[in-house]
Structure 1
Amino acid sequence: MDALRTDEGRAGRRRRPWSLRARMVLAFVAVAMATAAAAAGAGYAAARASLVAETQRGAVDTVRDQVTRLAPEIAYPPDQDALDRLRTALGPDAMVTYEGLTSASGDALGLIGDELRSAVAAGDRLAVQRVADDAGPHLVLATPVLLTGVDGAQRDSGVDVYVVRDLAATEAQLDRWTRVVVLTIAGALPLAVLLALLVSRSVLRPVQRLAHSADELAAGNLAVRLAPSGRDELADLATTFNHTAAALERSVGELRRREAEARRFVADVSHELRTPIMALTSIMEVLQADARDRSAQELELATMAVDRTRRLARLAEDLLELSRLDAGVGELRLERVDVAHVVTDTVRTRGWDEAVTVVAAGPVPARVDVRRVDVAVANLVGNALRHGRPPVVVEVRAVPDDRTDDVLVTVTDHGPGLPPGIDPDRLFGRFTKGDSSRTTSEGSGLGLAITLVNARLHGGDVTARDSAEAGATFELRLPRRLDAAAGPDPEEGGTRA
């Protein structure tokens, strides 16, 4: 059962979609990608701001130099030809105004807005504005032409210059940088996944070794130990596990030694008591026969002594049987029989025919140990007769399903049911008896325990529950083993427990 639970635990760990490794990898990749995105984004933003600022500064310096160089060549007040020459020198998408005169050329002059005109009219030496239209982003510059007198003082000539510069080249450069940033982040993803797998493997490998060792420890391998490596917390955990396993091994070893001594003591005592108890039973039976010719009181005392002596003999036999089973020397001598017939013989040979009804729809073939099935059924029926009320119904039937093919022996009495407030599993403990709500118990308290051991020796089980229609119901479930590969034939010598 421990090995089964261990396998189920391993399977459960494998089935979990969000394992520790997956969470570590996802967290590492998320942090790495967030860091890469933040770094690339910050670098892109800084580079973009620098490129835009540099482009704007270059355009401003170019316009300022052109205006400064061409301003002395203009006669004041300028005429239309002078404005046209200045506008032509400034390049495409330029406009020059002087009072009512305007010289303009280019398709982007519509981007020159009233805000920029107002800024120049208010006396700004240079006004700059970035605008965009369907053709893309543009830089609009506006500046008045200043005249410098002989005294070095500058005054407004009344000539205003407007220039529109295309930022398509700058935008294309920014697009190339954006693609580089995206490709950099995308290229960092597989690298981050690879690094995350390497890191998670180095971190989780000791944890996996610890989990495997814990599984072995749970399965009974108390000698399992870990080899600590390094000086980190995982090494400390491995050391703690080793100390715990060593302490557990010592404790379990001591408990096993004491348990073995106790079992050996019980077996020795039971074995030594058999002979004197058998002799004592014979003597008591002789005294009982002799007391029939004496008084009624002497006969009652002799009968009571015989009954108590026989009960003591049964207790010694039960203790000896349990000691054999606990020592693992019990054998299964499997043979193909009709379980319904075995149960019927069990009831008939013990003289329970009048109080017990055996119900079977037909033959129920199975490969079982007849002697152990007889003991198990006799204990269940005897328990029902002692603690319940007749009629006791024993039903034998096959229970095939998708997973198993079992034979089920159900024993139901018509008594008060299971003791209230007690766990049904406790009924199969040793020396467990009914409470005061039942009739006086005459058993040893070992019958159900022996039944449970014999059932599990077959690979089956026995359970108890309250019946809705009657009293208590006990179910003995045994594998049928009809396939020859499921167990040896009788001539093969049986199955070792």
Structure 2
Amino acid sequence: MRLVVVFGLVALTAAVSASGIAYWLNREAVLTRTQDSALNDFRQEMQDRAAALPLRPTEEELQRAAEQMASSSAVGYGVVLLGERDGGKPIVGASDPDRFTMDDVPASLRQAVERRQEVGEDGEDYPYHLFWQRTERGGTPYLVGGARVDGGGPTGYMSASLEAERQDLSSLAWSLGIATLLALIGSALLAQAAATTVLRPVHKLGEAARRLGEGELETRLRVSGTDELAELARTFNAAAESLQKKVADMSAREESSRRFVADMSHELRTPMTALTAVTEVLEEEQDGLDPMIAPAVALVVSETRRLNTLVENLMEVTRFDAGTARLVLDEVDVADQVTACVDARAWLDAVELDAERGITARLDPRRLDVILANLIGNALKHGGSPVRVSVRTAGEARSVGEELVIEVRDHGPGIPEEVLPHVFDRFYKASASRPRSEGSGLGLSIARENAMIHGGSIAARNSPDGDGAVFELRLPVDPSRGVGADDGGEDAGDGGEVRA
């Protein structure tokens, strides 16, 4: 549409300008030709007939001379001759009093004709000159001219109709108007052709780029011709092919990395089981060990448990990446579930629960426990007690859009603004000076994955009053879609490290 408007404006401007110039030039040419012909003929008749009249002609002589001048004219004008009789009284002779009289002569023209010029000044050779003026009577244009015979004699006036010229100019104006309209129609057709040959390929290119951005890497453009658009289409196809190849290579490497992590986790699970059994025995015998050996045994027990948690978390991550994680849904009393999670980890003295009994949701209990353990454990580790856990529902009761909302709030220093966007990233630790800590940096990431598999979400923010951080978990009360059953379970408790 913009192209049509632009083409139309350009065509309209060009056509109107050309038509206006053509009309003005033709109008001046037509009127000048008619005017010159009539005035030259009138001048000649004044010299041949009016000048031959006596100084004091009679009215009949003036009448006859005017009629002869009008009848012999090739232009077809009316004539009025004005003379003086004895005593200075004016007499008038008209070729056709019904068509042209002295009342039809403008006063300004009469004054100009009667005005005597000074001979010799400014190159004047005659005391009287021929003057003309265009007028209109009854809607019809006329050319009125007048002259006085030098050396004494009558004054003559002529009136020639310009109706024929006006009709010719009107026909010309209609023709130019039609030409302008045809130019507008032609510009619209030209704009349509331009849109077909230029804008449509550009639109197709934009559509292809949009599909490519949405992940349809097999998108290609059909190339035809050798112009700039064809070259652009070839460049796009080459870029899309290169991008598809790079994405395929990256996907292959990512898949290889996932298989490596999964295989490594499974391979480590067997020796970790044995190590765990040994460390349990060592822990039971720790009180009876040599004081020099006991610290080393305690360190081995602690690091073995940490390594075991890391292996379990890696296996959970690989399940999410492979898409094999499944939900086992059950009707859960949320308050009881939160209480059980806190009690199992001996956090009752450090956690405040604000939840009404009877709030139930259809969830996977094990995965909800993993989420709660990571969020509460993270708050205790980095925010300090007391940690407040509140449970509520959002939306109309039992409606499709009803959500379970669980907020975990601590009273620590809060999360730095530059860290907030990364708290759920895998292996992310806010403090570069503490790359090695009790957490693996996977806990919050696993919590988010478990929320997403329920169709929910987790968001982190700082409290508006500046007193600690708030993690908000939103889960549908009745997920519209589940993913079957899980193939194994992991113990929670690694909250990830998100504070500096």
- What is the TM-score when the length of structure 2 is the normalising length? 0.81
Corresponding residue to 1:74 among 53, 61, 85: 53
Residues 467-478 of structure 1: pairs in structure 2 closer than 5 A: 467-469=463-465, 470-478=467-475
Output the aligned Cα RMSD. Answer: 3.3
Corresponding residue to 1:40 among 4, 7, 19: 19
Residues 238-387 of structure 1: pairs in structure 2 closer than 5 A: 238-296=233-291, 298-361=293-356, 363-387=358-382
Higher mean C-alpha displacement, 345-354 vs 276-285: 345-354
Shift of 1:72: 7.0
- 2:187 maps to 1:192: yes
Q: Is the 8 A contact 1:96 1:103 kept in 2?
A: yes
Superposed CA offset, 1:33-72 (max 9, x none): 2222222222222222222223323422442454355347
Corresponding residue to 2:30 among 5, 29, 51: 51
Partner residue in 2 for 1:409: 406
Q: Is the 8 A contact 2:113 2:129 kept in 1?
A: no
Residues 96 and 412 (structure 1), Cα distance of their counterparts in 2 relative to 1, 3 Å cut: same
Q: Is the 8 A contact 1:465 1:473 kept in 2?
A: yes
Higher mean C-alpha displacement, 187-196 vs 468-477: 187-196
Structure whose alpha-carbon radius of gyration is higher: 2
Q: Is the 8 A contact 1:413 1:472 kept in 2?
A: yes
Residues 442 and 493 (structure 1), Cα distance of their counterparts in 2 relative to 1, 3 Å cut: closer
Shift of 1:110: 2.8
Residues 61 and 343 (structure 1), Cα distance of their counterparts in 2 relative to 1, 3 Å cut: farther
Opposite residue 103 of structure 1, the aligned amino acid is V
State the distance in 1 between where 2:51 and 2:137 align. Answer: 35
Corresponding residue to 2:429 among 429, 433, 436: 433
State the distance in 2 between where 1:358 and 1:202 align. Answer: 68
Residues 50 and 318 (structure 1), Cα distance of their counterparts in 2 relative to 1, 3 Å cut: same
State the distance in 1 between where 2:161 and 2:230 align. Answer: 65
State the distance in 2 between where 1:336 and 1:116 align. Answer: 116
Higher mean C-alpha displacement, 39-48 vs 408-417: 39-48
Shift of 1:445: 0.6
Q: Is the 8 A contact 2:114 2:148 kept in 1?
A: no
Q: Is the 8 A contact 1:139 1:167 kept in 2?
A: yes
State the distance in 1 between where 2:318 and 2:345 align. Answer: 25
Partner residue in 2 for 1:97: 82
Shift of 1:481: 4.1
- 2:481 maps to 1:487: yes
Partner residue in 1 for 2:455: 459
Higher mean C-alpha displacement, 472-481 vs 393-402: 393-402
Superposed CA offset, 1:360-417 (max 9, x none): 2454444433332322222111111111111111222222399954322211111111
Shift of 1:137: 3.9
Q: Is the 8 A contact 2:276 2:304 kept in 1?
A: yes
Q: Is the 8 A contact 1:95 1:109 kept in 2?
A: no
Higher mean C-alpha displacement, 110-119 vs 201-210: 110-119
State the distance in 2 between where 1:54 and 1:352 align. Answer: 113
State the distance in 1 between where 2:18 and 2:254 align. Answer: 67
Superposed CA offset, 1:143-174 (max 9, x none): 3447xxxxxxxxx5543322233434433443
State the distance in 2 between where 1:289 and 1:266 align. Answer: 33
State the distance in 1 between where 2:265 and 2:213 align. Answer: 34
Residues 365 and 117 (structure 1), Cα distance of their counterparts in 2 relative to 1, 3 Å cut: farther
Opposite residue 255 of structure 2, the aligned amino acid is A
State the distance in 2 between where 1:193 and 1:367 align. Answer: 63
Residues 143 and 244 (structure 1), Cα distance of their counterparts in 2 relative to 1, 3 Å cut: same
> 1:462 is paired with a residue of what secondary structure?
strand
Residues 123-142 of structure 1: pairs in structure 2 closer than 5 A: 123=126, 126-131=130-135, 135=139, 137-142=141-146
Superposed CA offset, 1:96-153 (max 9, x none): 234654526253123524234437886365333334578564322123447xxxxxxx
Residues 275 and 471 (structure 1), Cα distance of their counterparts in 2 relative to 1, 3 Å cut: same
**Aligned residues, how many?**
458
> 2:460 is paired with a residue of what secondary structure?
strand
Shift of 1:218: 1.1
State the distance in 2 between where 1:364 and 1:94 align. Answer: 114
State the distance in 2 between where 1:106 and 1:336 align. Answer: 115
Q: Is the 8 A contact 1:385 1:413 kept in 2?
A: yes
Gaps of 5+ in 2: 71-76, 94-100, 119-123, 487-500
Residues 88 and 333 (structure 1), Cα distance of their counterparts in 2 relative to 1, 3 Å cut: farther
Partner residue in 2 for 1:216: 211
> 2:288 is paired with a residue of what secondary structure?
coil
Q: Is the 8 A contact 1:340 1:396 kept in 2?
A: yes
> 1:357 is paired with a residue of what secondary structure?
strand
Opposite residue 410 of structure 1, the aligned amino acid is E
- 2:461 maps to 1:449: no
Shift of 1:449: 1.3
Opposite residue 142 of structure 1, the aligned amino acid is G
State the distance in 1 between where 2:485 and 2:40 align. Answer: 108
State the distance in 2 between where 1:256 and 1:120 align. Answer: 104
Opposite residue 352 of structure 2, the aligned amino acid is T
Residues 353 and 95 (structure 1), Cα distance of their counterparts in 2 relative to 1, 3 Å cut: same
Corresponding residue to 2:220 among 225, 239, 248: 225
Q: Is the 8 A contact 2:78 2:159 kept in 1?
A: yes
Residues 54 and 416 (structure 1), Cα distance of their counterparts in 2 relative to 1, 3 Å cut: same
Residues 331 and 207 (structure 1), Cα distance of their counterparts in 2 relative to 1, 3 Å cut: farther
State the distance in 2 between where 1:480 and 1:207 align. Answer: 47
- What is the TM-score when the length of structure 1 is the normalising length? 0.81
Residues 138 and 364 (structure 1), Cα distance of their counterparts in 2 relative to 1, 3 Å cut: farther
Opposite residue 310 of structure 1, the aligned amino acid is R
Q: Is the 8 A contact 1:387 1:441 kept in 2?
A: no
